[in-house]
Amino acid sequence: MAMSTELSEAGTLDGSLEQAADRQTGLTDICSGTAGSRMASVAEYYAGKNVLITGATGFMGKVLVEKLLRSCPEVKALYILVRPKAGQSMQQRVSDMMKCKLFDRVREDNPDFHQKIIPISSELMQPGLAISPEDVEKLTACINIVFHCAATIRFDEPLKHALQLNVIATQQLLSLAQQMHHLEAFIHISTAYANCNRKYIDEVIYPPPVEPKKLIESLEWMDDGIVRDITPRLIGNRPNTYTYTKALAEYVVQQEQDKLNIGIIRPSIVGASWQEPFPGWIDNFNGPSGVFIAAGKGILRTMRANNDAVADLIPVDVVINLTLAAGWYTAVHRPKTALVYNCTTGGINPFHWGEIGTYAHHVMSSFKRNPLEQAFRRPNANITSNYLINQYWILVSHKFPALIYDLFLRLSGQKPQMMRIFNRLHKAISLLEYFSSQDWEWNSENMSMLMSQLTPEDRKTFNFDVRQLNWPEYIENYCIGTKKYVLNEDMSDIPAARQHLRKLRNIRYTFNTLLVVFIWRVFIARSQMARNIWYFVVSLCFKFLSYFRASSTLTN
């Protein structure tokens, strides 16, 4: 208990207030120092530069590599840290990445673009990032700008593992950056939810929940069981180890602001591309992607969210455009303190979870026009803020159908799987519930300031103005993107998928009809009143059909 108390007392509110004041002073000095001279455009700045990127094989990293190659064609080289995987060499991983459809536009403009990508073998879990002495010498001699995108984004990551990937690896990269002779900027990708224990989040680095060095030293001697037991006490009112360790990483980065030119990007929930390189590109099941796919497959039928809370979704190309612009600004202006950019939509162009009903209609309509292959049921989902209603629909629309389907699989000699799938879905949805049931307000002055510093041409090329974002159109493209790029389904197979949906509709109507007949027959056998009602309803139906036939005959 004494150790936990000591760790939790790092930092004060006064420190964050001082930092906010320093930031304002720094911005004034920066802006006044370059008023009279023409600055290079963003693309001109990156011309001839050597760039180091961590996490380049991940979702955001790939988009960053593609954007640099396409919009900054004169960039000299992109050095990317790559971890060899079991059964796949570093070169093979990079080769597979460059074959991705994401790079089609770059491939058209420059078929030899791969020559600018230089992989460096690295392992974030190892001391010194496991970079060889030869590669360290190469990087320290030539790198001009670092983009640190690598991180574990798993919400349920064990604390030791999350600390190693998100904090210790960041420390080691900063140590390497300090050795770079020509480094002009270090850009760290954080998250808007690093300080989700606060309702109002300014563009400052808040005091850390613990002193990172003390935490690392304390956890070194503990086994995994002890760490697991004390994790809830350590993370406090944060929901998971991801947001906790990202807050620590921001503090670690801030400590080097006297030695390096630093910028920190805080995106909210990163989703599919809005415009670049084409609308709707996505390559993972994380966050909204998994929810949309589960809804499109007819698996997800209910989700709990606070109707009044902002659903802060940010397209990946917006984040990357802001990141590259921040890299340019940080290198050219050399701010005295690390500038933080809250990359969110909630305060600029918001939509609320309560409005998702409207967008859910777009999601369902999109998946009915462009259905996913082999859907379990017809797409039909609803969002509620009521816990009991949500639990009712989970029972009726999730667990009961899963049990019936698994029984059918058992009887047909197959392995049951639907209940396992639904359990995994419920676990994923429960991890998101913290973010869909609360509301935050982010200040985005630095984002607006950066936009004002760009030339009109750069604002088009590196567009991060989310005021222009049309949500229904974006959600439509997002849904199609999950079909084309995540599930790799061919759009030419849509007629067969539509036929499958019609088959599912007929099965549903048949089942519902049989269920109604069964229920009424049970009541009819036991109650004279129910029998009278049944005969009345049946006769009414026959009268309606007779009237309909007569009307059709007269019309003809």
Question: What is 117-152 written as a DSSP string?
Answer: EEEEE--TTSGGGG--HHHHHHHHHH--EEEE----
> Which DSSP helix (H) or strand (E) runs through 267?
strand 262-267
CA distance 72 to 50: 12
CA distance 87 to 89: 7
Biggest CA–CA distance in the chain, Å, is: 94
CA distance 480 to 141: 44
Phi and psi at residue 440, in whole multiples of 5°?
A: -130, 155
Tokens 């799938």 label which residue?
A: 421
DSSP code of residue 141? H
Mean pLDDT, the chain, rounded, equals 85
- Pull the structure tokens for residue 471: 């949500």
Spell out the residues 6+ positions from residue 249 whose beta carbon is closer than 8 angstroms to its own. 151, 166, 167, 170, 188, 190, 194
Identify residue 439 by its one-letter amino acid code: D
Q: How many Cα atoms sit within 13 Å of 214 on the Cβ side?
A: 13
Model confidence over 13-40: pLDDT tens digits?
344 434 444 444 444 444 333 433 456 8
Q: Are 52 and 117 in contact (CB under 8 A)?
A: no
How many other CB atoms are found less than 10 A from the CB of residue 357? 13
| pLDDT at 434 (0 to 100) | 87
Identify residue 18 by its one-letter amino acid code: E
CA distance 301 to 294: 9
CA distance 439 to 306: 9
Spell out the residues 6+ positions from residue 258 whose beta carbon is closer than 8 angstroms to its own. none
Phi and psi at residue 63, in whole multiples of 5°?
A: -65, -35
Tokens 């939810």 label which residue?
A: 193
- Pull the structure tokens for residue 440: 């935050």
| CA terminus-to-terminus distance, the chain | 86
Task: Note the pTM of the prediction, 2 decimals.
Answer: 0.84
Q: How many Cα atoms sit within 13 Å of 423 on the Cβ side?
A: 6
| pLDDT at 346 (0 to 100) | 87
Query: Which pLDDT tens digits describe the chain residue by residue (556 residues)?
Result: 333 333 333 444 344 434 444 444 444 444 333 433 456 889 999 999 999 999 999 999 999 999 999 999 999 999 999 988 777 778 888 888 888 899 999 999 888 888 899 999 999 888 899 999 999 999 999 999 999 999 988 888 899 999 999 999 999 999 999 999 999 999 999 999 999 999 999 999 999 988 999 998 888 888 888 888 899 999 888 999 999 999 999 999 999 999 999 999 999 999 999 999 999 999 988 888 888 898 888 888 888 888 778 888 999 999 999 999 999 999 999 988 999 999 999 888 887 776 655 555 667 777 888 888 888 888 888 888 888 988 888 898 899 888 988 898 888 888 888 899 888 888 888 888 888 888 899 999 999 999 999 999 999 999 999 999 998 889 889 989 999 999 998 888 888 888 888 888 888 888 778 877 777 677 666 677 777 777 787 788 777 777 766 655 555 5
